[in-house]
Every structure is written in C-alpha cells, then in structure tokens.
C-alpha cells in the first residue's frame, strides 16, 4: 500500500493518540487493581507517552457573508442597516422566505466577526436611537467621525449626525481573511 506524506502523518498521529489513551487507561486499571489488592503491580517503565504538538486546528470553511457585507458596503458606497443587508442577501442569493432567519443569523454573526476580530466594519448610530448603520472602518477619520461624502449620506438617511466611534476600540486584524482590493 502506498500512502502520501499527509496520510502517513495523520495515521501516525492517530496511532500515537490511541497509544497514549490506552496507556492512560492501563495506568488507571493498574492503580485500581493495586488499591484493591493492597499491593503494587509491576509497572511498565519502558512505555512512554508521546509528545503532542500545540498546533492549533484551523477554523472551518470561511463564511461567504463576511465578503458579502464588505462588498455590499463598497457597492452601495453609503452606510447600510442590517435590514438592508439582509434584504440584499435575500435578493442577490435568491433565498426563499424560509431561509431569511438563517441568512439574518449568518449576516449578524459575520458582521460581529468583522467588527470585533477583523476591524473591517463599525456600527454608527444617532444618540438615543436604536437603529445602527454599518460602515467600513476606512470611512471614519481619526476622531471617529464619518468622512465627507459618507457623513452627508448618513445625515440624509438617518436624519441627523452620529455619535463618534471610539477608534482605540477597533481591533487590528492579525491576518487579512478577506480580500483587500483598493485598501
């Protein structure tokens, strides 16, 4: 039988993990038998536990919704509400009414990740108002205010100015998961 290097590595890791698990199980059995018998059993000094790497597992498949949110904000070139994004998603991806709750949850999760992990988007809103608008972080100046064309657009659709965004709270991404065209 011929195996690729990746298959061999995975098989080796599997059997090392199984060996470590079984050694631990046997150690437990030996300990319990020794306690029940009131004496010591022969220990297996020649068996050693394998050393495991601390390599983190990769995240699963990347969501399409993060890119969708960034692309829609760029395409519309104005602040957008979550409701507008969800409506666009339903129309563009031709999703039925029964999938609206799923699309809404996916967009909310992706927007949260874009805001708190990647620092790509931010939410802005008027003081005392519940409705929030999503904006790209690059649309904000160093004081946390929207720059010229986006501020005027926000005032037109929201009916007034917005509360400044805390620019120090925006995270700096460790790596760029999303496309970076034009940035």
Q: How confident is the model at residue 2 (pLDDT cuts 50, 70, 90)?
A: confident
Q: Which pTM does this prediction carry?
A: 0.60
- Quick one: tokens of 75? 């395409």
Q: Mind listing the pLDDT tens digit for each residue in 125-165?
A: 888 888 899 999 999 888 888 888 888 888 888 888 888 88
Specify the pLDDT at position 177.
55
Cα dist from 55 to 51, 52, 61, 117, whole Å: 12, 9, 18, 21
Cα–Cα distance measured from residue 97 to residue 72, given in angstroms and rounded to the nearest whole number:
21
- For residue 75, pLDDT over 90 is answered with yes
DSSP E strand boundaries for the chain: 80-81, 121-125, 132-136
89: left (phi over 0), alpha (psi -120 to 50) or beta: alpha
Bridge partner list, 136: 121
Backbone angles phi, psi at 115, to 5 degrees: -80, -45
Average confidence score pLDDT of the chain: 83
**64, 46 contact by CB (below 8 A):** no
Instruction: Copy the structure tokens of residue 162.
Output: 């917005």
Q: Taking the CA atoms of the chain, what radius of gyration do you get in angstroms?
A: 27
| Dist CA 132 CA 76 (whole Å) | 16
Res 183 pLDDT > 50 = no
CA dist 84 and 70 (Å) reads 13
Contact between 115 and 136 under an 8 Å Cβ cutoff? The reply is: no
Q: Which of 116, 122, 114 is nearest to 164 (CA)?
A: 122
């Amino acid at each position: 039988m011929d195996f690729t290097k990746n298959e061999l590595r995975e098989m080796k890791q599997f059997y090392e993990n199984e060996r470590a698990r079984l050694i631990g199980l046997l150690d437990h059995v030996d300990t319990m038998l020794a306690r029940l018998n009131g004496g010591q059993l022969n220990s297996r000094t020649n068996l050693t536990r394998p050393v495991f790497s601390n390599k983190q597992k990769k995240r699963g498949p990347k969501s399409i919704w993060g890119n969708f949110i960034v692309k829609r904000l760029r395409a519309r070139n104005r602040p957008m509400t979550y409701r507008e994004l969800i409506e666009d998603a339903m129309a563009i991806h031709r999703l039925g009414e029964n999938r609206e709750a799923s699309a809404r949850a996916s967009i909310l999760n992706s927007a949260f990740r874009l805001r708190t992990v990647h620092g790509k988007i931010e939410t802005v809103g008027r003081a005392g108002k519940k409705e929030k608008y999503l904006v790209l972080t690059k649309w904000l100046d160093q004081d946390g205010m929207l720059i010229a064309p986006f501020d005027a657009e926000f005032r037109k659709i929201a009916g007034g100015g917005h509360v400044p965004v805390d620019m120090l709270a925006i995270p700096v991404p460790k790596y760029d998961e999303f496309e970076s065209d034009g940035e």
